[in-house]
């Protein structure tokens, strides 16, 4: 990146850190300690040289004592100062890291669901997380730059009195080193980007290999060798990238070793010449040797700090891109939605394609959902049912067409307020590593009477009362051994209880009872229907046992609404719905 771009990216992080509660004090303490620790080695070099000269020449006891006290007491003072300040910096750094993590999670959880599904975004999200967590390192680099500048002024004033040309030679060597390191940093950064994707792929397979969730299928399908082959393949790819990084790093190290040899050779040649020919005192030789080394280290530190800033700038740019990504395709409006029995949600010529796909998952969809209506959606896998729901609850935005609430485009409404109208149970519902009560109420201060009521209505109150800590029993045994691992049916009932507890305007069941037998599914749907009599509901199911509980039925096929009407109307059509219903009825009646 250009110097200007590096500067802008660096200032972005600095402003971000200074804007935090503990940021200003953190930066101040880092800067003070960095300048102090940079000047101390120069002090040691000069005082040690003066002590040698004094011992070899006048031997003034007072001066000798002063020099010795400076040399011996300074490390003690430095130790205690760094100890106290380091403790404070550690606390500030931990507080800042927490703030950064919260900012990152807040951003991720605010991102549009549709965006989160894109693989490239997942990689960018991971690298942005790394950049944010390591962002305080930018302060270390800037402090090194400032402290190096202070040290450089001091060192140059000393070395230039010996031989100004040695500064020019050492500077030339350092500039050569700078370009060697710059080339190596660019190569390493590009390889790291390639490594991130491979590392993520390997991590996914690694999780499958050791996860208990996959243990049954791995054994029963006997896919151990299949998974291990994939693991080996990605591991080899990662290994090859690591070898490239090592090889290019070694080449840079070889060149740097050569330039270092040339620098030391020239330095000793000049100082020995001054001692042997011009009778330079031995102590002064020590000062000059030390300060020339300090000069090389200081200028090298400046150049390397800039290289590190450039390297971080590349990663910071990814963080900036991530943080500046629009959270949504369509900006959230400011209207607050209202929904009652007279309300309508209307799909008008809505079509949708998933990112990277040329095929419509939903095409030219036109349907109206009324506020006092129970709608049942049926259809085969891949017919577009779940996509319809995700568009309805605004997890996705239509590729074409629009969705209207009470005659207004839903983009005109505040997105969070709009989504609060829905209480949804998806087929891939989630169990959280929390207590049963927290899994249902999503609140630490839940209403126990309300909680017991919805659990009773969903048929799980008896089960919960038998648990070791009742509603405070953890789901899963990852944290506590007396945790509770619910069965598939119990998990589904907990997920439905969660939907009922939230008391929203519109309830959606997206095939949450797929793991239950038909009778249990019918029982749950009937209970659910009775619990939300005066609410709008959308039910999605493969089985048609609960269809007669709905006011209207929409049959999805190939991403379109193929049929729409009441159960009786559709059955009398002798179309897709009739065929589906008769086949399932026959399956449940016949012994075979």
Single out the residue of 341, 350, 332, 333 nearest to residue 389, CA to CA. 350
How many Å apart are CA 436 and CA 476, to the nearest integer? Answer: 10
331 vs 114, 394, 399, 402, CA distance in Å?
14, 12, 15, 14
Q: In the chain, pLDDT over 90 holds for what percent of residues?
A: 15
What is the pLDDT confidence band of residue 99, given thresholds at 50, 70 and 90? confident
Given a cut of 50, whether residue 23 has pLDDT beyond it is yes
Given a cut of 60, whether residue 590 has pLDDT beyond it is no
pLDDT of 223-267, one tens digit each? Answer: 778 778 878 888 888 888 888 888 888 888 888 788 777 766 776
Given a cut of 70, whether residue 216 has pLDDT beyond it is no
The pLDDT value recorded for residue 311 is 76
Single out the residue of 406, 466, 392 nearest to residue 436, CA to CA. 466
Q: Is 37 helix (H, G, I), strand (E, B) or coil?
A: helix
Give the number of other Cβ atoms within 10 Å of residue 328's Cβ: 16
How many Å apart are CA 437 and CA 484, to the nearest integer? Answer: 12
Q: What's the sign of the alpha-carbon dihedral 133, 138, 143, 145?
A: positive
**375 near 538, Cβ under 8 Å?**
yes
102 vs 108, 110, 131, 544, CA distance in Å?
10, 12, 14, 45
Most confident of 131-140, 308-317, 555-564: 555-564
**338 near 406, Cβ under 8 Å?**
yes
| Range of weakest confidence among 166-170, 498-502, 535-539 | 166-170
The pLDDT value recorded for residue 73 is 86
What would the DSSP string read from start to end of 450-501? HHHHHHHHTT-HHHHHTSTTGGGPBBSSSS-TT-B---HHHHHHHHHHHHHH
The pLDDT value recorded for residue 592 is 42
Q: How many CA atoms lie within 13 A of 251 on its CB side?
A: 12
The pLDDT value recorded for residue 368 is 94
Specify the DSSP class assigned to residue 566. Answer: -
Average pLDDT over residues 152-178: 69
274 vs 155, 266, 278, CA distance in Å?
19, 13, 5
Point out which residues pair with 302 in neighbouring strands. Answer: none
How many Å apart are CA 435 and CA 449, to the nearest integer? Answer: 17
Average pLDDT over residues 151-171: 67
Q: Which residue has the higher pLDDT, 13 or 269?
A: 13
Given a cut of 60, whether residue 399 has pLDDT beyond it is yes
The whole-chain average pLDDT of the chain stands at: 82
Residues 6+ apart with CB under 8 A from 371: 339, 340, 341, 342, 343, 344, 505, 536
The pLDDT value recorded for residue 425 is 85
Average pLDDT over residues 363-390: 90
Helix (H) or strand (E) holding 361, with range, is strand 360-370
Given a cut of 70, whether residue 572 has pLDDT beyond it is yes
How many Å apart are CA 587 and CA 571, to the nearest integer? Answer: 17
Given a cut of 90, whether residue 65 has pLDDT beyond it is no
Residues 6+ apart with CB under 8 A from 496: 425, 458, 509, 512, 524, 528
| Range of weakest confidence among 140-144, 320-324, 325-329 | 325-329
Specify the DSSP class assigned to residue 575. Answer: S
Given a cut of 60, whether residue 591 has pLDDT beyond it is no
Q: Which residue has the higher pLDDT, 264 or 79?
A: 79
Counting beta carbons within 10 angstroms of the beta carbon of residue 378, is it exposed (0 to 12), middle (13 to 18) or buried (19 or more)? Answer: buried
Average pLDDT over residues 306-317: 79
| Range of weakest confidence among 254-268, 455-469, 569-583 | 254-268
What is the pLDDT confidence band of residue 408, given thresholds at 50, 70 and 90? very high
How many Å apart are CA 174 and CA 184, to the nearest integer? Answer: 15
How many Å apart are CA 32 and CA 147, to the nearest integer? Answer: 9
Q: Which residue has the higher pLDDT, 417 or 129?
A: 417
Intra-chain end-to-end CA distance of the chain, in Å? 71
Q: Is 378 helix (H, G, I), strand (E, B) or coil?
A: strand
580 vs 374, 489, 504, 509, CA distance in Å?
20, 25, 32, 20
Average pLDDT over residues 584-592: 60
587 vs 84, 160, 543, 571, 592, CA distance in Å?
77, 97, 11, 17, 8
Name all domains of the chain by residue range, CATH numbers in brackets.
Answer: 3-324 (1.20.1560.10), 344-431+486-589 (3.40.50.300)
How many Å apart are CA 174 and CA 300, to the nearest integer? Answer: 6
Given a cut of 60, whether residue 304 has pLDDT beyond it is yes
Q: Which residue has the higher pLDDT, 367 or 445?
A: 367
How many Å apart are CA 501 and CA 157, to the nearest integer? Answer: 75
| Range of weakest confidence among 64-78, 309-323, 462-476, 564-578 | 309-323
Given a cut of 60, whether residue 72 has pLDDT beyond it is yes
Q: Which residue has the higher pLDDT, 570 or 282?
A: 570
How many Å apart are CA 72 and CA 588, to the nearest integer? Answer: 93
Given a cut of 90, whether residue 214 has pLDDT beyond it is no
Single out the residue of 74, 81, 70 nearest to residue 33, CA to CA. 81
Given a cut of 60, whether residue 432 has pLDDT beyond it is yes
**339 near 536, Cβ under 8 Å?**
yes
Point out which residues pair with 425 in neighbouring strands. Answer: 509
The 10 Å CB-count burial string (b at 16+, else e) for 381-410 is eebbbbbbbbbbbbbbbbbebbbbbbeeeb
How many Å apart are CA 488 and CA 30, to the nearest integer? Answer: 54
Q: Is 327 helix (H, G, I), strand (E, B) or coil?
A: coil
Cα radius of gyration (the chain): 35
Q: What's this model's pTM, rounded to 2 decimal places?
A: 0.64
Residues 6+ apart with CB under 8 A from 503: 423
Average pLDDT over residues 505-526: 74
Helix (H) or strand (E) holding 344, with range, is strand 344-353
β-pairing, 374-379 vs 400-405, is unpaired
Given a cut of 80, whether residue 56 has pLDDT beyond it is no
What stretches of 134-278 show up as alpha helix (H) in DSSP?
Answer: 137-159, 164-210, 215-220, 224-278
How many Å apart are CA 437 and CA 441, to the nearest integer? Answer: 6
Planar angle of CA 227, 228, 229, nearest 5 degrees = 90
């Amino acid at each position: 990146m250009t110097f200007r771009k590096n500067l802008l990216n660096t200032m972005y992080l600095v402003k971000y850190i200074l804007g935090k509660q503990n940021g200003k004090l953190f930066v101040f303490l880092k800067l003070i300690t960095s300048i102090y620790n940079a000047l101390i080695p120069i002090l040691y070099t000069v005082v040690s040289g003066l002590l040698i000269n004094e011992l070899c020449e006048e031997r003034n006891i007072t001066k000798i004592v002063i020099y010795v006290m400076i040399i011996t007491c300074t490390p003690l003072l430095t130790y205690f100062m760094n100890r106290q300040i380091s403790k404070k910096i550690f606390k500030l750094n931990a507080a800042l890291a927490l703030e950064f993590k919260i900012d990152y999670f807040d951003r991720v959880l605010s991102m549009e669901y549709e965006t989160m599904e894109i693989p490239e975004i997942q990689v960018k999200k991971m690298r942005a997380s790394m950049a944010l967590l390591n962002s305080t390192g930018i302060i270390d680099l800037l402090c090194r730059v400032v402290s190096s500048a202070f040290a450089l002024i001091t060192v140059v004033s000393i070395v230039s009195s010996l031989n100004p040309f040695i500064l020019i030679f050492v500077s030339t060597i350092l500039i050569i080193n700078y370009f060697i390191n710059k080339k190596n940093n660019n190569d390493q950064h590009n390889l790291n980007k390639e490594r991130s994707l491979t590392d993520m792929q390997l991590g996914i397979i690694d999780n499958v290999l050791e996860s208990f969730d996959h243990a049954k299928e791995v054994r029963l399908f006997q896919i151990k060798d299949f998974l291990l082959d994939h693991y080996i393949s990605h591991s080899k790819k990662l290994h090859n990238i690591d070898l490239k990084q090592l090889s290019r790093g070694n080449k840079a190290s070889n060149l740097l070793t050569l330039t270092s040899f040339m620098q030391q050779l020239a330095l000793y040649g000049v100082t020995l010449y001054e001692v042997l020919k011009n009778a330079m005192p031995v102590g002064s030789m020590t000062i000059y040797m030390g300060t020339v080394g300090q000069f090389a280290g200081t200028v090298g530190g400046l150049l390397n700090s800039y290289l590190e800033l450039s390297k971080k700038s590349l990663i910071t740019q990814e963080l900036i891109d991530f943080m500046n990504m629009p959270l949504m395709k369509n900006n959230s409006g400011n209207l607050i939605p209202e929904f009652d029995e007279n309300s309508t949600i209307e799909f008008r010529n809505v079509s949708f394609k998933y990112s990277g796909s040329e095929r419509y998952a939903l095409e030219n969809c036109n349907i109206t959902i009324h506020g006092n209506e129970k709608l049942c959606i049926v259809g085969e896998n891949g017919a577009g049912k779940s996509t319809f729901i995700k568009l309805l609850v605004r997890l996705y935005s239509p590729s074409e067409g629009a969705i209207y609430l009470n005659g207004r485009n839903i983009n005109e409404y505040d997105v969070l307020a709009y989504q609060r109208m829905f209480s949804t149970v998806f087929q891939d519902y989630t169990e959280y590593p929390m207590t049963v009560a927290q899994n249902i109420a999503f609140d630490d201060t839940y209403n126990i009477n309300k909680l017991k009521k919805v659990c009773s209505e969903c048929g799980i109150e008896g089960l919960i009362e038998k648990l070791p800590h009742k509603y405070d029993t953890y789901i899963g045994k990852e944290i506590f051994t007396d945790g509770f691992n619910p069965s598939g049916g119990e998990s589904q009932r907990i997920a439905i209880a969660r939907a009922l507890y939230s008391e929203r305007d519109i309830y959606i069941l997206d095939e949450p009872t797929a793991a239950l037998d038909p009778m249990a599914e019918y029982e749950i749907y009937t209970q659910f229907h009775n619990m939300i009599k005066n609410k709008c509901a959308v039910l999605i199911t493969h089985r048609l046992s609960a269809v007669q509980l709905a006011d209207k039925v929409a049959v999805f096929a190939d991403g379109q609404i193929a049929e729409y009407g009441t159960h009786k109307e559709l059955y009398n059509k002798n179309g897709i719905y009739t065929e589906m219903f008769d086949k399932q009825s026959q399956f449940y009646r016949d012994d075979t």
